[in-house]
Amino acid sequence: MIYYLFTLQLSGWEFLAFILAYFLAVAFAFSAHEFSHAVVANWCGDKTAKSLGRMSLNPFKHIDGFGLFSFLLVGFGWAKPVPVNPLHFRNYKKGIRLVSSSGVITNFVLGIIFSCLYFFISPLLNLNNVFFEFVFFFLMIASTVNFSLALFNILPIYPLDGFNFLASFLKPDNKFLQFMYRYGSIILLVIIILPIFDLFYYYVVGGVESLFFDLWRLF
């Protein structure tokens, strides 16, 4: 994100518009992700998140300051996980699958919506106006961030949603699960530090965005 700012060569007001758009887009994407976990967990019978005030789109309920700062610096961050007690689910395994997939689905749907808005609205904006520049930046960043969160979270690496979804189909003593419980956080750290994350971002996230832009060109 810092590198991207340097390549844009923005003026003072443009820089502020970009920063504000970035923070709002990231905060909304994180909040929507965690909110969906809380709502689905409540539907499945666990009211833990609701009782703690996490069934809300208020970003201050979900944002982790360090996680948001990390996203600003390196493009990878996190929100405060919604507390979930699967023992309260009416159907244990089904509940885990629904809650785990809800955040990914929410971000993916938002990515589709924002990519559509960006594709059709951005050509109409007068970018000599700082407000319209803010709208342009927000739609662009919101599309990318939501696709990034959705696609990264489907990876079957502990403690990501994709891992929890997969774990609901496997036995607790499964060797893959035990390996991930022990080394998943280290694997994530390696992915972030090495160029693996950049390759994932460029080819996977960029490829999905390009796919939808090609789709919108058909209309």
Give the C-alpha separation, 38 to 192, whole Å.
27
Residues of the chain with pLDDT under 50: 2-3, 6
pLDDT at 74: 66
CB 79 within 8 A of CB 34: yes
Residue 23: C-alpha distances to residues 26, 31, 181, 194, 206 (Å): 5, 12, 32, 25, 20
pLDDT at 4: 55
pLDDT in tens, 50-77: 999 999 999 889 988 887 777 766 667 7
pLDDT at 192: 81
Catalytic residue ranges: 34
Give the C-alpha separation, 189 to 97, whole Å.
25
pTM above 0.95, yes or no: no
Give the C-alpha separation, 182 to 10, whole Å.
44
pLDDT at 156: 96
Q: How many helices (H) and strands (E) does the chain have?
A: 10, 0
